[in-house]
Amino acid sequence: MWYRIGIDYSATLDQYRVNINNGAWSPYYAAVGLTSEINQLRLYADSNANSYLDFISPSYSASAPVISSVSSSNIAPNSATITWTTDYRVKSKDAANNEAISADYTFHTAVAPLSLRLPFGDGESWHVSQGNNSSPTHNGNEAYAWDFNKDGTSCNEDKGEPVFAPASGKITSAGWYSNAWGNIIIINYGNGYYGRIAHVLNDQAFPIKVKVGQYVFAGELIGYNGDTGTSAGGCAHIHYQTENASGVSLDPIANNIKFIDPGVPSNGVPVEGGQYISLNTTPAIIYHFDTLLDSSGNNNHASFQPNCLVQGCIALNGTVDEYLQAPNSASLQTAGDISIIFWLKPENVGSGRINPIDKAYFGEFSLVIEIDGSLSYYHGQSTSNYFSWTALTSGSIANNQGVRVVITRDNTAKLIKSYVNGMLVVTTYYGIDPSATTNPLRIGLGNTGIPYKGKQDEIAIYPRVLTDDEINNDYYATQ
């Protein structure tokens, strides 16, 4: 998420002010809700000597953080990029303390390395039959690619095996591409990275499972292993490469792209001949809210169009008879590790204690938007023995503001984390374990009885802990 920040200095008041997107001025940028968004600042100024950073609290400091790099910029004569872990503000003035000396600043969440999961089933063991810069075909634009075949099978016996998204993103291509590539699926991961999966099947028995424009989560089924294109008549295999927008494969080491499954070398690059086990877990639920399926068999599918956050979405009207409910199942009894991920754009914050997503506050989990715009999290053993936590502080959730929220729970370490728009916000430990219940999963209504009004989108619940980088990657993939 990008912001245009205006800064000026008043010598009369000895005050430094800020505005966001040409809005109202405020003495401190923290007061206008940026603290949960920032961990990198890109500063554009006429002179680095007269533009610097200092602490917001507890008191201002004359010592500025070290600027990590300075380079030429087309936007302004100088550019400085800095990363920090504490809140700062920006001062801008000239040597004579002239008033209303202003500059444009841009704050954004820092981009994490791209984390990938192996594109085959969770727990399965496959080997790399052809690696990077390897004969006969991995050269030129395809130099940094991998071909995967399932262990313990002869040629073509892994044809039709499920293929899963290595990371979250938007589908930009799905279907026949060329005689060389056959059927392909391309996922836009954001930040200029794309994942290409080639030679997949696409017929009545083994169709491509995604469509152009839709969002997919890491671990989501996207198609089936095949031998289309130049692979026809040979061994079916999963061809995978991370590439740029022009289709040129990217050097994973130079571009900080890593497969993070256990057993993959520490540099994140599977080697030819290596045998690897996937930890590409499929979520317990995935709700894209993209399509209304036509049951006539004529494929006249419709899509939700209520000005959504990502492709289609669901818009709830805030009445007690309008919510979504999934019956209890073993896959939803997530009493161990969990990652809950969703977009919110509410319209009735302040009307009461609202459950955007709820299973059981005395069981697996429950989330509550409080009257002050904070987000509370619950899990527990019973109605009298449960853990509660302020996952997001007051004002974090506001009416008509879209926000990507992630909650992760590591039940071995007893560690729980909250994230907003790809950035870690709060971490805490707990002493009361969650428990499995027979409650249904509900979206838009829960134990508090106050219905949610507004939009929700791209909801997933994983039975594992997503890493910080995976969560950051997901946020940018939805942009």
To which residue do tokens 């500025």 refer?
A: 64
- Do residue 271 and residue 315 come from a single domain? no
Beta strands in 280-356 (DSSP E): 285-287, 291-292, 302-303, 314-317, 324-326, 338-346
- Do residue 93 and residue 136 come from a single domain? no
d(C-alpha 117, C-alpha 282), whole Å: 11
- Do residue 7 and residue 151 come from a single domain? no
- Do residue 270 and residue 378 come from a single domain? no
Count up the domains in the chain and report the number: 3
- Do residue 132 and residue 243 come from a single domain? yes
Domain that holds residue 384: 285-477
Last residue of a domain, one of 93, 108, 123: 108
Q: Are 89 and 16 a contacting pair, CB within 8 Å?
A: yes
Backbone angles phi, psi at 447, to 5 degrees: -60, -30
pLDDT digits (tens, 9 = 90+) for 415-464: 999 998 888 888 999 999 999 999 999 999 999 999 999 999 999 999 99
- Which of 54-63, 197-206, 415-424 bottoms out in mean pLDDT, i.e. has the lowest? 54-63
d(C-alpha 420, C-alpha 418), whole Å: 7
Q: Which residues of 428-450 are buried (b: 16+ CB within 10 A; e: fewer)?
A: eebeeebbbbebebbbbbbbbeb
Q: Is the pLDDT of residue 78 over 90?
A: no
Last residue of a domain, one of 60, 77, 108: 108
Backbone angles phi, psi at 286, to 5 degrees: -140, 120
Q: What is the CATH number of the domain that holds 343?
A: 2.60.120.200
pLDDT at 386: 98
pLDDT at 104: 33
- Do residue 94 and residue 129 come from a single domain? no
The amino acid sitting at 126 is W
**CA dihedral sign of residues 354, 356, 358, 364:** negative
pLDDT at 48: 33
- Which of 3-12, 269-278, 349-358 bottoms out in mean pLDDT, i.e. has the lowest? 3-12
CB-based contacts of 196, cutoff 8 Å, min separation 6? 184, 185, 186, 239, 240, 241, 242, 243, 247
- Do residue 90 and residue 128 come from a single domain? no
d(C-alpha 361, C-alpha 434), whole Å: 9
- Do residue 200 and residue 242 come from a single domain? yes
d(C-alpha 415, C-alpha 339), whole Å: 12
pLDDT at 199: 96
To which residue do tokens 């709820």 refer?
A: 358
pLDDT digits (tens, 9 = 90+) for 347-391: 999 999 999 999 999 999 999 999 999 999 999 999 999 999 999
To which residue do tokens 């956050």 refer?
A: 309
Q: Is the pLDDT of residue 23 over 80?
A: no
Strand partners, 54: 89
Q: Which two tokens stand for residue 89?
A: 């503000």
- Do residue 126 and residue 256 come from a single domain? yes
pLDDT at 51: 33
Q: What is the CATH number of the domain that holds 204?
A: 2.70.70.10
Q: How large is the average pLDDT for residues 383-412?
A: 95
d(C-alpha 228, C-alpha 236), whole Å: 8
- Do residue 104 and residue 120 come from a single domain? no
Last residue of a domain, one of 108, 126, 158: 108
3-state secondary structure of 29: helix
Q: Are 374 and 397 a contacting pair, CB within 8 Å?
A: yes
For residue 224, count CB atoms less than 10 angstroms from its CB and return exposed for 0-12, middle for 13-18, buried for 19 or more: buried
- Do residue 332 and residue 433 come from a single domain? yes
d(C-alpha 226, C-alpha 269), whole Å: 23
- Do residue 256 and residue 334 come from a single domain? no
